[in-house]
Structure 1
Amino acid sequence: MIVITGASGQLGRLVIAQLLKTVPASQIVAAARDPEKVADLAAKGVQVRHADYAKPDTLDRAFEGAEKILLISSSEVGQRVAQHQAVIDAARRAGVKLLAYTSVLHADTSALALAEEHKQTEEALTQAGVPAVVLRNGWYHENYTAGVAHAVANGAHYGSAGEGRISSAARADYAEAAAIVLTASDDQAGKVYELAGDESYTLKAFAAQIAQQSGKPVVYTDLPEADYKAVLLQAGLPDFVAELLANSDAAAAKGALFDDGGQLSRLMGRPTTPLSTSITEALSH
């Protein structure tokens, strides 16, 4: 039995879609805060269970009979450590053979502000003594391609990453890697994977690729971190999201989103999805 937490989210759904290729639906548990959001998975034979990181009593029932669990990191920045600890404790009580956790690239040394909660969670995993594998996911292409239409409309892509290189990959790539680790025949406990795209690029190159594909002028405009946050706020993003994205870009300028180890493509046995492919998809919507 493999339990996927955060199953109604974008990554969770993609992981389950990958698992369904090789694992019987009845052996997959979609654990979600709102089970109604994964009712379509129940129709495919996947077990649907209620699991709320903030309500530890729901986790014991969700993890009943679990052999492996994927802990997809909480979206509630600032609450993550306590929520993740609740999942780790429940996994230990369930006696799971493997707990996989989606962390962030180079969590132990990263300049990203959001890395701190991931680092603390990794430490909690070690202290708990649960057999665990850490999937340190790099940036998703989608973190940037979500703004492609806006960039085309405005003729500009704004950021604070300077000449920093970004080694992102498609969300689906990270989902495939997670499914491979969860179904691997060899023992994954104790492993730490630094997962990132095969290619790296600057945001100037990203803007140039949008311009090339759209046929419209798009330039990269580099701003100080505070100014970029202000642009994001003006675009209607919540304060904590604007803060997170601006900080992440500033950290990218220092190399926080770069990795050339190639672990993701080796794990998948294929190259990671090119950024150009994800831009094409974004432009088609």
Structure 2
Amino acid sequence: MRIDIEELSVEIAGARLVEDVALHAADGQLVGLVGPNGSGKSTLLRCVYRALRPAGGTVRVDGDDLYAMTAREGARRLAALPQEAVAEFDFTVSEVVAMGRLPHQRSVARTTDEDRQVCGTALARVGAAHLAGRGFLTLSGGEKQRVLIARALAQQPRVLVLDEPTNHLDIAQQLDVLALVRGSGLTVLTALHDLNLAALHCDLLYVIDAGRIVTHGAPHDVLTPELLAEVFGVRAHRVPHPESGAVQLLFDRLLPATS
């Protein structure tokens, strides 16, 4: 399922945080959004999963205006994992994953055999079936991310939006989570902080700075030393990954020019 963002702008308290952004993800693509802190990544994604209303522009899922849909219809097409996705109460893992079925239920109190099967399958897909009876708050960071991805999969969306899904995870957990997302078969839009992870896993990258898209394209074409110096303020050295050949980056401070 395709997602298209056109001329999207966000204004809060008179400040324009996102300006005329256009972004496109084709069916099954993993598209990364990268940029420095405060560049507008999370603000943009909040508009995509309808936590924030844009001042202008549209978000379309397979050509249909997301904002013209009911909340239930939108949730059947698009699932999100925000940065601030936390559980205030110690639900069990099964209960957390079952929340993903709410858009498909006519009554909150009615959990069907189909719901239970879908949730069980989602937990198995992320390798977390053994956690079903555990309290969510007792899990490690990596386990929590797996469960939240299972909840999103149980929602049976066609588009998945993730805001910094690898934050606070160790490197093995980061690789596991992105492999899960990559193997989901969904169209995925994700903000990522780590440029090397973005280069390894994403089909396309969009670079955002000061609320505007600076450039977009394949990671190899986008992550140039010139762009990284301009947008991130670092000196970058490009090296090929020894197995995949994907561009990887080594960083130095960008020293001021001498006269």
The structure where helix makes up a greater share of residues is 1
TM-score range, shorter chain: 0.3 to 0.5
Higher relative contact order structure (alpha carbons within 8 Å, sequence separation ≥ 6): 2
TM-score of the superposed pair, with normalisation by structure 2: 0.33
